[in-house]
Structure 1
Amino acid sequence: MDIDDILKAFDQETSRPQRSQSKLYRQDYESLKKAWINERTSPELLHYEVDLMERVLKRIRQQMEFIELNSIELQSSEEKDIKLLLVIIESELDRVNFVVRSYLRTRLDKIDKFTIYIHNEEQELKKLSPEETEYMNRHLEILVELYNKQFLSKLPESLHTLDDTSGGISMIESPELSKSVFIRVLKDIEIPIVIGGEEIDMKQDEIYVLSYRLVKDLIQAEEVALI
């Protein structure tokens, strides 16, 4: 029996509002995992999941508060059900924390890698949370300061820019949107994708390997998911 089976068993013994709330928590966890996989697989930075992350982080705070307030009492309690509940909450908290940390680290890695590109593109800036925007701006300040101290100050002023695109060569590192990705179709796609003059009808639950550029809009519309 895994943690999900145990949670279901507890749901059966609780009231309907509590079961409904527990179902919403598990739905959010599944949505979080999907956002995490999409972010890790996508070559570009995706939109920060504002509402989802607010609910998940609120749930984490509630679980931590429950553990802190009741850990001493539960350790001395003889009620096995209460002790088991604490174990379940801690296990659930560990797995959710893992996904949250990995999701955020993946996003920060992309922000580090594409700092100048994101900073210069208004549509990319809209993908960031306020905290990520602050992080990116500070990272860019440190980057410019480091480069100036190391070598830019020794070069002509015309060579001081970090976002030069003259001469047909761009200094700005940007996402490789032509990268091939695996996708799973979440529902039938009405408009087929055209590759080399051939139309591809994408049906629900089918798996494809396609250029990210071809499916990025479908990912944002939640019609397909990266795997």
Structure 2
Amino acid sequence: MDFNDILKDFETTSRSRLRSDDTLRTEDLQALTQAWIQERTIPEVLPYEEDLLERILERMRKQIEFIELNSIELQKHEREIKLLLVIVESELDRVQFLIRSYVRTRLMKIDQFSVYIRSNEQELKKLSDNETVYMERHLDLLMELYNRQFLKNLPESLQALDEGGGLVNMVEKPDLHKPVFVKCGENGMVMIEGEEVELEKEGIYVMRYSAVKELVKMGSMIVL
């Protein structure tokens, strides 16, 4: 059996054992990759991709079970199984990397903007239940540390960490004017400082996120 035959056999076997819908698996992987790119590039926290993550994690559990079951047969049928397991493990590692990086990026933003997020109902809706619990626990620990170290020695009027008045705003917010690379999915137009800017389909631009935020949200643009 040559290498092409092995690959052909892998395609047939893996589709029947690992996936009930190969198209959905591919689309989910593409969606996860795009969600990861956007989360790392866009300054604000984006809505948590709960349904997408649940599907992918369930698929990963089945892949892990497949690896464990077939590892038992590796010594008996090494030639038939070894290549298949290597390919499955490689794909599993790639997906695990994307999920971990996606989650870590979100947690970094939550840590940075936690006071702002907690005070904004629309921002809170973007978090998963676990992320909300994490944020509240993180803020509690932070407040406990600050109170123990220095806040207790200040006048009560100066102890608030969410003070937004005066010359200095203590609540850190995402910088929506941060520049981002975007690719247009269709011809369109955006307003930048009162001036219309024409955009071409498949064109790649660098713009302030605030100018293209709604287009990205609607899917007319993707962040690179």
Question: Could you tell me the TM-score, scaled by structure 1's length?
Answer: 0.89
Give the corresponding residue for 1:45: 45
Q: In structure 1, what is the equivalent of residue 222 of structure 2?
A: 225
Gaps of 5+ in 1: 1-5
Which residue of structure 2 aligns with residue 144 of structure 1? 143
Counterpart of 1:166 in 2: which secondary structure? Answer: coil
Q: Using the alignment, how far apart are the partners of 1:197 and 1:115 within structure 2?
A: 33
- Residue equivalent to 1:54: 54
Counterpart in the other structure of 2:210: 213
Q: How does 1:1-227 map to 2 (within 5 A)?
A: 10-11=10-11, 21-74=21-74, 76-189=75-188, 192-227=189-224
Q: Which amino acid is 1:145 matched to?
A: E
Q: By how many angstroms is 1:216 displaced?
A: 1.1
Q: Secondary structure at the match of 1:183?
A: strand
Q: 1:19 to 1:51 in 2, by over 3 A?
A: closer
Cα distance between partner residues in 1 of 2:63 and 2:163: 49
Deviation at 1:17, TM superposition (A): 10
Superposed CA deviations along residues 111-144 of structure 1, whole A, max 9, x for unmatched, are 0110101111000000001110110010010011
- 1:118, 1:125 within 8 Å by CA — same for their partners in 2? yes
Q: 1:219 to 1:172 in 2, by over 3 A?
A: same
Alignment match, 1:3:
none
Write the letter of the residue equivalent to 2:219: E
Deviation at 1:83, TM superposition (A): 1.9
Q: Work out the percentage of aligned pairs sharing the same amino acid.
A: 53
In structure 2, what is the Cα distance between the partners aligned to 1:7 and 1:52? Answer: 29
Q: 1: distance between equivalents of 2:106 and 2:7?
A: 30
Q: What is the CA–CA distance in structure 1 between the aligned matches of 2:140 and 2:151, rounded to whole Å?
A: 14
Q: 1:148 to 1:165 in 2, by over 3 A?
A: same
Seen in structure 2, the aligned counterparts of structure 1 residues 174 and 157 have a Cα distance that, compared at 3 Å, is same
Question: Is the Cα contact below 8 Å between 2:15 and 2:22 reproduced in 1?
Answer: no
1:171 positional shift: 0.3
Aligned equivalents of 1:133, 1:13: Cα separation in 2: 41
CA, structure 1 residues 9+188, in 2 after alignment: closer, same or farther (shift >3 Å)?
Answer: farther
CA shift at 1:186, angstroms? Answer: 2.1
In the TM superposition, residue 184 of structure 1 has moved relative to its aligned partner by: 0.8
SS in 1 for 2:161: coil
Q: Report the Cα distance in structure 2 between the residues aligned to 1:14 and 1:29, rounded to whole angstroms.
A: 17
Do 1:181 and 1:210's aligned partners in 2 also have CA atoms closer than 8 Å? yes
Alpha-carbon separation, structure 2, partners of 1:197 and 1:139? 41
Whether the 8 Å contact between 1:11 and 1:22 is mirrored in structure 2 is no
Matched residue pairs, number? 219
Equivalent residues of 1:12, 1:19 under 8 A apart: no
Unaligned runs of 5+ in 2: 1-5
Q: Secondary structure at the match of 2:162?
A: coil
- C-alpha separation in 2, matches of 1:116 and 1:79: 55
User: Please, what TM-score do these two structures have when normalized by structure 2?
Assistant: 0.90
Q: Shift in Å at residue 7 of structure 1?
A: 7.5
RMSD: 2.2
Give 1:194 shift. Answer: 1.9
* Counterparts of 2:220 and 2:20, CA distance in 1: 26
Q: Residue 36 of structure 2 contacts residue 102 of structure 2 at CA under 8 Å; is this kept in 1?
A: yes
